[in-house]
Amino acid sequence: MSRDFGSPRRNSRARAGFEAAFWALLSLAVVIGAPSAVYGLPVLADLVTPAAVFEAQASVAPRIPAPALRGSFAAVSTAPILRPLSDENELSSVPDAELRASQEDAEAVAPVLTVPEAPRQPVIALVIDDLGNDVAETRRAIALPKGVSLSFLPYPSETPRLVREARDVGHQILVHVPMEAVQDRDGSLKSGLWRGLPVQENLRRLAWALSRVEGYAGINNHEGSVFTADRAALVPVAEALYGQGIFFLDSRTSPSSQVVPVARGFGVPSADRDVFLDDDQDSHAVAQQLRELERIARVEGVAIGIGHPHKATLDLVTRWCAGLKGIQLIPASEAIRLKTELDMGVKKGRIASSQ
């Protein structure tokens, strides 16, 4: 049953006022607290988000136990997961107690950012996602240099085994969480996050997805052009991720995506990708996208690219990694930290270009 939060006009004015207050407070906190303010201010959202508007969403978000952080969140290569589930039909059997940890546990381990030395050259994070469906293609991705981050779909039966293989050779691991899109073209979103579902059901689905991938450092969205554009739908997700020391990489499947501002507002490290390598799977097109990724890295200092386990992509990325000069390949978590600092105006200009 939907709740009556008052007249639409009054709610619209109140929500706009609260949002203006939120961003004003966040900007002030960044000026005072430098980069750590970006990740440690979920309380701002609690203070300025109208409780009547988001109560139904945010109040049921679980506090999932968080690891002891080691320096910056970029150093966290593993995170606690819920009991592994062998089948998505087990979603309804996950007890609420398993989905919820005490609020004190989460609040006690808010991510703490340490500022390392600025890179001496431009840096790129490359993520290959959609992994797990095709074993041969996934193993080709695992054979890439360990500096390439790998993102696994939760529902393929082979995902847990392939994740272990990827971790054994040193790749940073992401969970490729399915989210609502305009069309579910291949049925891959049926176990994903949808705006029309009850919040607690979406959180069960998120918990199930995380439980399928051991040692994840973060998540990125699979599809999700509709879900990621809805701030209210993202609030419980951000609250659930807060405190784990993991990141939310926005695949940016919609120009209207709200992932980065909502996630950062709740203290979750977040940034969006710069380039999709293979919307066009022609080898010349993929090569051009790799050059564009390098160009952005040289101009901005840091860039994030996402590709998929297509033959042309894997062939070209293999050669590209072997011939990479003047640019350093880094994990997705480190690129998110650097992009966040640039976005917030912290240490601007300290990343040197090799041009």
Question: Using CA atoms, how far apart are residues 188 and 168, in angstroms rounded to an integer?
Answer: 27
Token pair for 53: 């508007």
HSE at residue 142, side-chain half, CA atoms within 13 A, is: 19
DSSP helix/strand/coil, 2: coil
* 17 within a domain of the structure (yes/no): yes
* 259 within a domain of the structure (yes/no): yes
Question: Using CA atoms, how far apart are residues 113 and 116, in angstroms rounded to an integer?
Answer: 9
If one counts every other C-beta atom within 10 angstroms of the C-beta of residue 97, the result is: 8
Token pair for 209: 């997805």
* 352 within a domain of the structure (yes/no): no
Question: Using CA atoms, how far apart are residues 62 and 81, in angstroms rounded to an integer?
Answer: 13
Question: Using CA atoms, how far apart are residues 225 and 189, in angstroms rounded to an integer?
Answer: 12
If one counts every other C-beta atom within 10 angstroms of the C-beta of residue 132, the result is: 26
If one counts every other C-beta atom within 10 angstroms of the C-beta of residue 36, the result is: 18
Question: Using CA atoms, how far apart are residues 165 and 41, in angstroms rounded to an integer?
Answer: 36
Q: Which domain holds residue 282?
A: 8-343
φ/ψ (deg, to 5) at 22: -60, -50
State the greatest distance between any 2 C-alpha atoms of the chain, in Å, as a whole number. Answer: 61
Nearest to 67 by CA among 58, 77, 55: 77
Output the CA–CA distances (angstroms, integers) from residue 12 to 6, 7, 9, 193, in the order listed: 10, 9, 5, 26
* 350 within a domain of the structure (yes/no): no
> The tokens 């990694």 sit on which residue?
321
> The tokens 């909502």 sit on which residue?
262
Query: CA angle, corner 255, sides to 2 and 13, nearest 5?
Result: 45
Which CATH number covers residue 39?
3.20.20.370
Q: Which residues pair with 223 in a beta bridge?
A: 179
Taking the alpha carbons at both ends of the chain, their separation in whole angstroms is 59
* 121 within a domain of the structure (yes/no): yes
Nearest to 65 by CA among 174, 191, 211, 173: 211
Q: What pTM was computed for the model? A: 0.70
Q: How many structural domains comprise the chain?
A: 1
* 353 within a domain of the structure (yes/no): no
* 239 within a domain of the structure (yes/no): yes
Give me the tens of pLDDT residue by residue for the chain, a chain 355 residues long: 433 333 434 444 444 554 555 555 555 544 444 444 444 454 454 444 444 444 444 444 444 443 333 333 333 333 333 333 444 455 444 455 544 443 344 344 444 444 445 556 999 999 999 999 999 999 999 999 999 999 999 999 999 999 999 999 999 999 999 999 998 877 788 889 999 999 999 999 999 999 999 999 999 999 999 999 999 999 999 999 997 889 999 999 999 999 999 999 999 999 999 999 999 999 999 999 999 999 999 999 999 999 999 999 999 999 999 999 999 999 999 999 999 999 987 544 444 444 4
* 348 within a domain of the structure (yes/no): no
Residue-wise over 225-263: b if at least 16 C-beta within 10 A, else e?
A: bbbbbbbbbbbbbbbbbbbbbbbbbbbbbbeebbbbbbb
DSSP helix/strand/coil, 276: strand
Token pair for 282: 């022609």
